[in-house]
Amino acid sequence: MSGPYLGQDPPGPVPEVFAPGIISVRGSRERSLSLSPKGDELFFTKSGWPHSKIMHMKRQGDKWSLPEPASFLKDDGATQAVFSPDGQYLYFSTSRGKSDIRCYSLWRSRKEGDSWSEPESVIDMGGGLMMEFHPSVARNGSVYFLYWDFLKEPKQVGDIYVARLIDGKYAEPVILGPPISTEYNEVRPTVDPDERYLLFESNRPGGYGGTDIYIAFRNNDGTWSSPRNLGPTVNTPGIDDVPNISPDGKYWFSSVNGDIYWRQAPTALLDPNASVRNLTADQDRKGK
């Protein structure tokens, strides 16, 4: 395990298992890999909700440490750690301090030298009755996240919210209104650091089955464009996991059947002026 990306050969447009036997391990379920801006640290989730664990690896010189539970989380259930674009904070979802360990909320730790600070609570809208998951942090500190109502009847509902950082404090989160929000589930946001686009997962009609990945672009007035399905080179008949994106924008990391896969980022799909039909045909040719 030496060099960038644990010494793995870079993938092409076809997804490949990342670090088999080290991170993606047979008999366990892994997801949500996030790499530091310097490329010298990574976190991923070993799934088993509500007892999920955030795992940590660090690069010293040219060698990587073996995966270990994040020391600053002790025995807390936690998942979906992501770096802020400047690498100074790590945001994650955890049941820390909750009497009901199913109730996750958003916390963060600050980088202090070679270690991480004691976590601090950032967003807890539900007061222990709802869940905040899947944070994604913009360069200005804004946090996009999934707000999940697991008590709502007759079915559970997920929506995407954003909390703006104002004078060093987070304002009350607000839901991303239409055309992002619908009566269907919109979950697992990943925002571009400069908020140029937003990726999310939805089971809205017109997809390829299960849940699909959609993209919306930010308009000049701050509103969002109508979401666009990323097409059959990204989406499948099953559940498609919104990626975490490498700091250099070159690679996508997603969970597939309990393993972490990576692929070359399909950057052409992120062009707001492109035709979906032409883009998917172009990506198909590149994958052959």
For 128, the token pair is 């222990």
Query: Please, are residues 174 and 162 in contact by the beta-carbon 8 Å criterion?
Result: yes
Q: pLDDT tens for residues 13-39?
A: 999 999 999 999 988 999 999 999 999
Q: pLDDT tens for residues 34-62?
A: 999 999 999 999 987 777 999 999 998 88
**What CATH number did the domain enclosing 150 receive?**
2.40.128
For 38, the token pair is 């310097």
Residue 205 belongs to some domain of the structure: no
Residue 280 belongs to some domain of the structure: no
Residue 127 has pLDDT above 70, yes or no: no
Where is average pLDDT lowest: 72-86, 196-210, 265-279? 265-279
Where is average pLDDT lowest: 48-62, 107-121, 191-205, 250-264? 48-62
Give the pLDDT mean for 89-99: 90
Residue 81 belongs to some domain of the structure: yes
Torsion-angle region of residue 203: left (phi > 0), alpha (psi -120 to 50) or beta? alpha
Give the SS3 label for residue 193.
Answer: coil
Q: Which domain holds residue 134?
A: 4-181+245-267
Give the confidence band of 280 by pLDDT, cuts at 50, 70, 90.
very low
What pTM does this model have? 0.90
